[in-house]
């Protein structure tokens, strides 16, 4: 019996995805460049072995799959993907589908999609979120490619995806790079979400002097309310854990230097390319970069000292902690509004028709940013699919009005205490700028006209587009 699908690359992500596919009763052929890994994989598969066809050559692999053959590749992103595609071109036949499930840059995906067009092969760029655990038990799956090629794999993909109240967290989002683009923005939002949680943790730890255990209790409580989400849940769990060697809280022993693989940065770059503000995502990427300057930060602390008042002494600690919860919710709204605005613009620019309610829908389970909150976003976009921004939808404008006071108080308290809150503050700045009908760019336009004769529009419609600046600064 032929396999329904094939998979190449049996490292962490590929092997877990293959086991998930097999577990749902889909027959799958597997191949790995280093054959020993295939042997180990088959042993680890246990009872699922009956659905797996292990192969040791690409000829054998290709022959084992039912045409038109869908082949998932889950190898190291970048050069290895191009090498593998070049090799597969010699083995696959017209109609076969190569599915890149790694973390590709969507621009590479578009290039690969176009590059395969005249070969008769089709290409799918598939964003898979949820890490190792998601791959094994149900990831969120974001598919880009032709709709016809998606139809060929839809059954297998929906069988393995996460489910939210019975609905599949898997969808076809558009042509070529749509899936990998949406995955990139997912990761950008993830960066902002994580950074804002870390900023709130900083206020609790350094502003209120709470222990890791006390912070854990607060996050644990929030996870039962409107902030319910995977990231709050794991933050509570992480803050509770003790180091088995010293018995101290584990987080207190971890160096404050965050790694990054690039998808957050890609989100910020693409947002900037399109002229869409994604300040919370940008702040989160910058905060990770700043965190890596550990030696410089320690040296600067000696030279400049810590700023502000240090501690926060609120009149009511309970009321302030309630404010922190609402501030985090407000900040989150800002970050998601920005991420969705970036996708809306990209949809126009790349001709994708990205379905906003469906994107929020497939992020509700399986992925790292999964949360109750995303269900609210799904409803908001379903009610108003053409909303220019999430924060003007009826549900979210009400939420902004309800929570932005808390965000303002928390940012003010943190700034006074000298505690850095770049992502939360940027979300607040975004709300304050976005909701203000008359801003201050009139002065910028005047400056531009002064030094560069760039001209400006007048509010009264008078057809005169340059200022009476004269020849210089003689009057001063």
Q: Name the binding residues for NADP(+).
A: 9-14, 32-34, 75-77, 103
* Catalytic-residue membership of 132: no
The pair of three-digit structure tokens given for residue 221, joined into one six-digit string = 């409580």
Applying CB under 6 A, the span of 3-11, 290-298, 344-352, 424-432 interacting with ligand NBP comes to: 3-11
The pair of three-digit structure tokens given for residue 233, joined into one six-digit string = 């849940």
Applying CB under 6 A, the span of 55-63, 77-85, 340-348, 466-474 interacting with ligand NBP comes to: 77-85
Which one among 56, 76, 117, 317 touches ligand NBP, defined by CB under 6 A? 76
- By rule CB under 6 A, what string of x and - marks binding of each residue 97-136 to ligand NBP? -----xx------------------------xxxx-----
| Spatial contact of 261 and 103, defined as CB atoms under 8 Å apart | yes
Closest CB 82 distance from ligand NBP, rounded Å: 9
- Known binding-site residues for substrate equal 103, 129-131, 186-187, 191, 261, 288, 448, 454
The pair of three-digit structure tokens given for residue 192, joined into one six-digit string = 């902002």
Angle between helices 279-291 and 178-202 (to 10 degrees): 60
Closest CB 98 distance from ligand NBP, rounded Å: 13
- Catalytic entry in 4, 190, 199, 325: 190
Site for ligand NBP in 133-152 (CB under 6 A): none
Q: Is 12 or 306 the residue whose CB approaches ligand NBP more closely?
A: 12
Site for ligand NBP in 14-33 (CB under 6 A): 14, 32-33
* Contacts for 151 with CB less than 8 Å, ≥ 6 apart: none
If binding is defined by CB under 6 A, does position 10 make contact with ligand NBP?
A: yes
- Known binding-site residues equal 9-14, 32-34, 75-77, 103, 129-131, 186-187, 191, 261, 288, 448, 454
Of all residues in the shown chain, the one whose CB is closest to ligand NBP is 102
Which one among 13, 97, 192, 344 touches ligand NBP, defined by CB under 6 A? 13
Q: Is 85 or 236 the residue whose CB approaches ligand NBP more closely?
A: 85
Number of residues that bind ligand NBP (CB under 6 A): 23
Site for ligand NBP in 46-75 (CB under 6 A): 74-75
Q: Is 162 or 399 the residue whose CB approaches ligand NBP more closely?
A: 162
Which one among 84, 239, 330, 360 touches ligand NBP, defined by CB under 6 A? 84
If binding is defined by CB under 6 A, does position 170 make contact with ligand NBP?
A: no
Which one among 63, 77, 276, 415 touches ligand NBP, defined by CB under 6 A? 77
* Catalytic-residue membership of 214: no
If binding is defined by CB under 6 A, does position 262 make contact with ligand NBP?
A: no
- Catalytic entry in 4, 175, 183, 361: 183
Q: Is 83 or 432 the residue whose CB approaches ligand NBP more closely?
A: 83
Q: Is 80 or 467 the residue whose CB approaches ligand NBP more closely?
A: 80
Active site residues: 183, 190
Which residues of the shown chain bind ligand NBP in the complex (CB under 6 A)? 9-14, 32-34, 37, 74-77, 80, 83-84, 102-103, 128-131
């Amino acid at each position: 019996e032929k396999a329904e699908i094939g998979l190449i690359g049996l490292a962490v992500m590929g092997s877990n995805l293959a086991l998930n596919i097999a577990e749902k009763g889909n027959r799958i052929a597997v191949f790995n460049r280093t054959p020993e890994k295939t042997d180990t994989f088959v042993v680890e598969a246990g009872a699922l072995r009956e659905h797996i066809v292990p192969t040791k050559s690409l000829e054998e692999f290709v022959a084992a799959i039912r045409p038109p053959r869908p082949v998932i590749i889950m190898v190291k992103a970048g050069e290895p993907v191009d090498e593998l595609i070049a090799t597969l071109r010699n083995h696959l036949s017209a109609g076969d589908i190569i599915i890149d499930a790694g973390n590709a840059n969507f621009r590479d995906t578009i290039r690969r999609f176009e590059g395969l067009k005249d070969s008769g092969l089709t290409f799918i760029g598939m964003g898979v979120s949820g890490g190792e655990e998601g791959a094994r038990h149900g990831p969120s799956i974001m598919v880009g490619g032709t709709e016809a090629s998606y139809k060929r794999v839809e059954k297998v993909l929906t069988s393995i995806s996460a489910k939210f109240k019975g609905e599949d967290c898997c969808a076809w989002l558009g042509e070529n790079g749509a899936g990998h683009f949406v995955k990139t923005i997912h990761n950008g939002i993830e960066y902002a979400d994580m950074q804002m949680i870390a900023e709130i943790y900083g206020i609790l730890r350094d502003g209120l002097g709470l222990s890791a255990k006390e912070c854990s209790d607060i996050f644990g409580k929030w996870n039962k309310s409107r902030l319910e989400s995977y990231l709050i849940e794991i933050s509570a769990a992480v803050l509770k854990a003790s180091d088995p060697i010293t018995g101290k809280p584990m987080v207190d022993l971890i160096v404050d230097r965050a790694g990054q693989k690039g998808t957050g940065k890609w989100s910020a770059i693409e947002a900037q390319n399109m002229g869409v503000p994604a300040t919370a995502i940008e702040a989160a990427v910058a905060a990770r970069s700043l965190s890596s300057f550990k030696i410089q930060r320690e040296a600067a602390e000696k030279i400049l000292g810590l700023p502000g008042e240090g501690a926060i002494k609120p009149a009511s600690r309970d009321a302030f902690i309630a404010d922190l919860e609402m501030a985090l919710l407000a900040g989150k709204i800002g970050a998601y509004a920005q991420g969705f605005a970036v996708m809306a613009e990209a949809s126009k620019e790349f001709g994708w028709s990205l379905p906003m309610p469906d994107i929020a829908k497939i992020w509700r389970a399986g992925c790292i940013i999964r949360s109750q909150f995303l269900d609210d976003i799904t409803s908001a976009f379903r009610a108003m699919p053409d909303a220019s921004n999430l924060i003007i939808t009826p549900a979210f404008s009400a939420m902004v009005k309800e929570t932005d006071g808390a965000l303002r108080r928390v940012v003010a308290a943190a700034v006074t205490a000298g505690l850095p809150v770049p992502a939360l503050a940027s979300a607040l700045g975004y709300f304050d700028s976005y909701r203000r009908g008359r801003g201050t760019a009139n002065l910028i336009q005047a400056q531009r006209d002064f030094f560069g004769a760039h001209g400006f529009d007048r509010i009264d419609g008078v057809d005169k587009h340059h200022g009476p600046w004269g020849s210089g600064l003689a009057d001063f």
